[in-house]
Structure 1
């Protein structure tokens, strides 16, 4: 009987050598298969260079991924139904002249303002000549204008509403999508400069006085001039305060219904005596939150007085105005009427006639205008904008004005007083049409430039290019790792078990082991 020798015990060098000689990673196996030492050296240098290049480029990819780059994707979405935007309109004259004359303090302030305006003109006419009677003191017209505005904004909201232009007096005709509309389609708010402002399709349930109105959203199913919002407005130039309001017309904004409009910074002026057609296109912007570059927010954890007062959504502009209001409250001890302030904070409104208050408010207004306040106001993650195309024509036309004049006489009131004069009609009436140019909306969406899948795919491609690694190659090295762990485990167990025989094969030659019998000689 011939006994076979037991297989050689595996060792770590043998395990590693077997894998490296037969691995699917191109180049590594050639280091061990090369017959001459010079070829082995060249292959080793080349494989080392390829590994370094692969490691360098993979590191650059990982670092670029953690810079969180992004890009913008622009798409044009076609819609069969599109929500109509909110349309806010304000008379450029904030307070009616007849109401000012009934208020003693504002009437006196208006007289001071008129006097300062006359002095300002006289001083301006003497700018390039010698006028011995010219005032030497600094121009106080802006101070008088601020005083007039301050006294108006110190009044209770109910009085300010009553002093402003009323929608019932301004709205002559309203038509949306071919159907009549009235004042119940408009909500409102008080603006520190323009007085009463009214918003069509705001989706709020109360008007400027708190009365119930229609709050459902209005949609449009057709694009074009005919299916938009048609408004005819009476701006009441006879009620304009000449010392304050130097231009006539309507301030109009088109905006998202969920945000607070700021007429002093946004919108367009609509002059009287014209029909102004405003074609619009909706633009939806979506941004990525941190850690991407825009660092946008939905307003969580950020103080926003405009949400507290009006229930509006977070915007960067509302955050900035809240920030300056907080700074004025903390440092001046009052709330500025130019910015929103919740009544529960119990800060009095700033009286700019008081000593030191005007200088303090002006200081923080200057810092706000020049970006010097420490305000954390990132961009909003979702924003709706409306691109406008504005055109105009004379209205009413010479052929139509006679018929229109007779219609105004039948309406009565102040309208009947201007009906006889075509010039007064054109000086006091405004027509505006707001419509979608097409039922398409543009979407600008910020997207990650490198996703996790892109990173893994690019790294796999680089490693495959330089050293020929694939998923199967990784499986081979994983198998090697398992074999090495099993080898170490067997070694540990072999050392832990006591050995009865130091040389178990020493008994192979004995008679008892081979089964041979001994004979006596």
Structure 2
């Protein structure tokens, strides 16, 4: 008896299920174009849809790649706003007499008088002026010789202790004859002092330093302004003491004035304006606040983290790019010349002697690094500061004291006594020795310049979503569909693995009942 031919099914059930899963998802996905590939019955139409969907997918991937690469260049842009305020913090105002050392103090000091004669300031000035300046080269020679002579005198002067240099410079109590701020009287207790290598004693109003000029404790809270205009600013009347000027060293008379943020170290030799005597100088200012972005954005600004700043160690000033460059120059001089330069700050705990330019080797070494500093050839890592406050100034002036007022002013000077009494009878000497300056806000608003990212993570995701949606119609729901497909495939493979493991354990144990194979009966026609 012959049995019908029976055929055992292969284990192709899982493969059919996987194919069915993928086909079902792709036929019903919300992504545009893909279902049309499966719905098309003619091979030509199906080929066209396949080409178009592939082309759109490639375009979407290309543009998304370009967008991601652009994001990682960290582009930025500046946003400028004009912000109105009912109250503004008044800046620090630094003043320095253009004459650094008083003539009377030099005469009392035999060492400094000898140094002044040995420096050749007077001889260099006379020699070039005696023959007349017939060409620009002669003028340049005079400037070079004067600069060299002044450098030599400054070297000797800066060998003195800070106490000696303070004593030899102009004193604020002698210079300040009137002070008012926001309509209220102020005095020398509103000022702090620091020593500048070029101008000697410099005094800062509203500096927020814990001590004032005399060393007494002072208010560290900044002064604020609640009204704009001439009447509500800082009014100063100063006696510049031209009779104390060193004739061969100081060629200009007046006050060096610098407006800056309290946290920054002022450098009057590079910044600021000169205020002449015999005039009332009005300085109207407009505040500009700048915020920059840190690395990896283009400005790569810093707050001074892990960057050496001698001006913070000595004066408590915050990081600025100029302070960083000067610190870097001082470090190079100390490492290579074995001394500290008087132009730059140096903490006392480092215990480097001051550079003595009378020694030829030190003179040449210091000169080399001065040249590199001036031409920005030092290898210094000094990025911009992230927060910066600048002040745009409008300067105007008029004669002061006027002819009508000078008689009353002369009487006031006689009552004050001292050196002012000696010049009170001469209008010319009064105008040569007195300065009046007014510093005020032109308006109670300020300009805010902020650097902002041109592309954030949210912008990147939004733009990529728009591009992908434009080309292939992908959406979050589409991604959910493919995620569902991934889970289904994962579960399918898990079931396959479990079934394979079960079948192997069944072959090892003959007593376990096996699943009966499936037979297909093949019928034949008789």
Taking structure 2 as the reference length, what is the TM-score of the superposition? Answer: 0.91
Residues 328 and 87 (structure 1), Cα distance of their counterparts in 2 relative to 1, 3 Å cut: same
Tell me the CA shift for residue 125 of structure 1: 4.5
Deviates more, 1:51-60 or 1:139-148: 139-148
CA distance in 1, matches of 2:142, 2:439: 49
Tell me the CA shift for residue 121 of structure 1: 2.3
Task: Indicate the residue corresponding to 1:518 in structure 2.
Answer: none
Task: Indicate the residue corresponding to 2:171 in structure 1.
Answer: 166
Task: Indicate the residue corresponding to 1:501 in structure 2.
Answer: 514
Residue 76 of structure 2 corresponds to residue 48 of structure 1 = no
Residues 358 and 505 (structure 1), Cα distance of their counterparts in 2 relative to 1, 3 Å cut: closer
Q: 1:101 aligns with which of 99, 103, 107?
A: 107
Q: 2:25 aligns with which of 15, 19, 22?
A: 19
Tell me the CA shift for residue 40 of structure 1: 0.5
Residue 357 of structure 2 corresponds to residue 352 of structure 1 = yes
CA distance in 1, matches of 2:394, 2:147: 35
Q: 1:184–1:214: 8 Å Cα contact kept in structure 2?
A: no
Tell me the CA shift for residue 439 of structure 1: 1.0
Q: Count residues in correspondence.
A: 495
Matched residue SS, 2:444: strand
Residues 67 and 139 (structure 1), Cα distance of their counterparts in 2 relative to 1, 3 Å cut: closer
Deviation digits for residues 233-262 of structure 1 (CA, Å, limit 9, x no counterpart): 000001011111100000000100111100
Task: Indicate the residue corresponding to 1:362 in structure 2.
Answer: 367
Deviates more, 1:211-220 or 1:358-367: 211-220
Task: Indicate the residue corresponding to 1:231 in structure 2.
Answer: 236
CA distance in 2, matches of 1:128, 1:373: 31
CA distance in 2, matches of 1:221, 1:353: 54
Deviation digits for residues 186-234 of structure 1 (CA, Å, limit 9, x no counterpart): 0010110100000000011213453333433211111111000000000
Matched residue SS, 2:443: strand
* Misfit runs of 4+, over 6 Å: 126-129, 136-139
Tell me the CA shift for residue 110 of structure 1: 2.0
Give ranges in structure 2 of 5+ residues lacking alignment.
1-12, 507-512, 520-526
Deviates more, 1:107-116 or 1:72-81: 107-116
CA distance in 2, matches of 1:96, 1:448: 54
Tell me the CA shift for residue 375 of structure 1: 0.2
Residues 229 and 140 (structure 1), Cα distance of their counterparts in 2 relative to 1, 3 Å cut: closer
CA distance in 2, matches of 1:390, 1:138: 29
Residue 268 of structure 2 corresponds to residue 255 of structure 1 = no
Task: Indicate the residue corresponding to 1:519 in structure 2.
Answer: none
Tell me the CA shift for residue 143 of structure 1: 2.8
Give ranges in structure 1 of 5+ residues lacking alignment.
1-7, 130-135, 507-521
Task: Indicate the residue corresponding to 2:442 in structure 1.
Answer: 437
Residues 138 and 189 (structure 1), Cα distance of their counterparts in 2 relative to 1, 3 Å cut: closer
**Structure 1 residues 453-492: aligned runs within 5 Å:** 453-492=458-497
Q: 1:280–1:386: 8 Å Cα contact kept in structure 2?
A: yes
Tell me the CA shift for residue 404 of structure 1: 1.1
Residue 203 of structure 2 corresponds to residue 201 of structure 1 = no
Tell me the CA shift for residue 16 of structure 1: 0.7
Tell me the CA shift for residue 107 of structure 1: 1.1
**Structure 1 residues 216-295: aligned runs within 5 Å:** 216-295=221-300
